[in-house]
Amino acid sequence: MPNTELLFPFVEYWWLYAAFTLGVLALLALDLGVFHRQAHAVSMREATAWSIIWVGLALGFNYVLYAYAQATFPAHERLLALPGFDPDAAARQVGLEFLTGYIVEKSLAVDNIFVFVVVFSYFAIPPALQHRVLFYGIIGALVFRAIFIAMGAMLMQYHIVVVLFGVFLIVTGIKMMFAPDKPLAPEKNPLIRLVRRLVPVTPLLDGQKFFVKLSGVWHATPLFVALVFLEFSDIVFAVDSVPAIFAITREPLIVFTSNVMAILGLRSMYFLLAGAVELFHLLKYGLATVLVFVGLKMVWLNDLFGGKFPISLSLGIIAGVIGLSVAASLLWPRPPAAGSQKVA
């Protein structure tokens, strides 16, 4: 899609990207510097409160973005010059696309939570230090997502790339649906092996430190190795989630902001759901169906509907599929023996 057809081209709206990024950095600084300055185990009550805050901030930003579009689009000369442009419909589209992208990213993040549980268990990271690892993991995730989204925005201008991404998502969804569950084995990960070859690693933690100096030589602690693994896992997950949101909207601003707002709430969602993640054993089928659906949008459905599958229908399908898979997981729980085998 040519850049002039975007509602929020970067050249014109760079200040909005900058303001949003500065706001996110301020929130992160407030989070670590004030509310979590002292390492402590995050209680269920605290995790619930922070989850509500992050979701509230995301929905608040969603409304502000919609209100801004509604107020400015009717007087925007470039947009009004586009054939058939409807300012009110475009503003509603912006709001719905952000909300749909946010729900997709939030849903896909449940897989991240299972990885967090396994990694923290394997490296024996106590609850009091888990927030610190997740905090820096989130910062790294934001940087990598920004890079992936910038690359995706350039590549998505070519129809063949859109089709290839769509096929990739369909194949990924089918594999997720039929592939057997495999236990995560951090000790076999080639990246972890490389880290241990390049940097000496201490067998024990040393408080909140990622590195310690022993006999004049810097050593990484298990806290740092856990952080590296989490960063690597997020890159893997981004390969699915970024194209999935580009299937919902071609607007890089909406992809970026919905991704970031979902990631910001990932830590509190982990502390809220870590103990219950195994309950949602059928969620993977819902996520797989969503990936297949958004892949079909890119390959076929958008063209079938004159270039754009209705966003309100997309939101209903995605929310319905995720909701049904969660409800089915609770109605038909995994047998205790099967659940215990997977955790072990």
Residue 264 covered by a domain: yes
pLDDT (0 to 100) of residue 75:
92
Cα–Cα distance measured from residue 237 to residue 233, given in angstroms and rounded to the nearest whole number: 6
The residue range of the domain holding 274 is 3-112+135-171+239-343
Task: Measure CA 130 to chain center.
Answer: 19
Kind plus residue range of the DSSP H or E element containing 218: strand 217-220
pLDDT (0 to 100) of residue 341:
43
Cα–Cα distance measured from residue 134 to residue 57, given in angstroms and rounded to the nearest whole number: 19
Cα–Cα distance measured from residue 166 to residue 295, given in angstroms and rounded to the nearest whole number: 4
Give me the amino acid identity at 99.
Answer: L
Collapsing DSSP to helix, strand or coil, 189 comes out as coil
Which of 207, 199, 261 is CA-nearest to residue 228?
A: 199
Which of 254, 261, 311, 293 is CA-nearest to residue 96?
A: 311
Q: Are 186 and 229 in contact (CB under 8 A)?
A: yes
CB atoms within 10 A of CB 202: 17
Which of 262, 261, 270 is CA-nearest to residue 47?
A: 270
Residue 182 covered by a domain: no
pLDDT (0 to 100) of residue 108:
83
Residue 121 covered by a domain: no
Residue 45 covered by a domain: yes
Cα–Cα distance measured from residue 101 to residue 248, given in angstroms and rounded to the nearest whole number: 7
* Alpha helix (H) residue ranges in 123-198: 127-155, 159-178, 190-198
pLDDT (0 to 100) of residue 343:
39
Kind plus residue range of the DSSP H or E element containing 211: strand 211-214
Domain count, the chain: 1
Tokens 């900058």: give the residue.
Answer: 18
Residue 176 covered by a domain: no
Cα–Cα distance measured from residue 74 to residue 85, given in angstroms and rounded to the nearest whole number: 10
Q: Report the DSSP beta bridge partners of residue 218.
A: 213
Cα–Cα distance list, 331 to 167, 250, 280, 281, 282 (Å)? 33, 37, 10, 11, 10
Residue 214 covered by a domain: no
Residue 177 covered by a domain: no
344 residues of the chain, pLDDT tens digit each: 333 478 999 999 999 999 999 999 898 888 766 666 676 777 878 888 889 999 999 999 999 999 999 999 999 999 999 888 999 999 999 999 999 999 998 888 877 787 888 788 888 888 888 888 888 888 888 888 889 899 888 888 888 988 898 999 999 889 888 877 666 666 677 877 888 888 888 888 888 889 998 888 899 998 998 898 888 888 877 887 888 889 889 899 999 999 999 988 888 888 888 767 777 888 889 989 998 998 998 898 888 887 788 888 999 999 999 999 989 988 988 776 544 444 33
Q: Report the DSSP beta bridge partners of residue 219.
A: 212
Residue 18 covered by a domain: yes
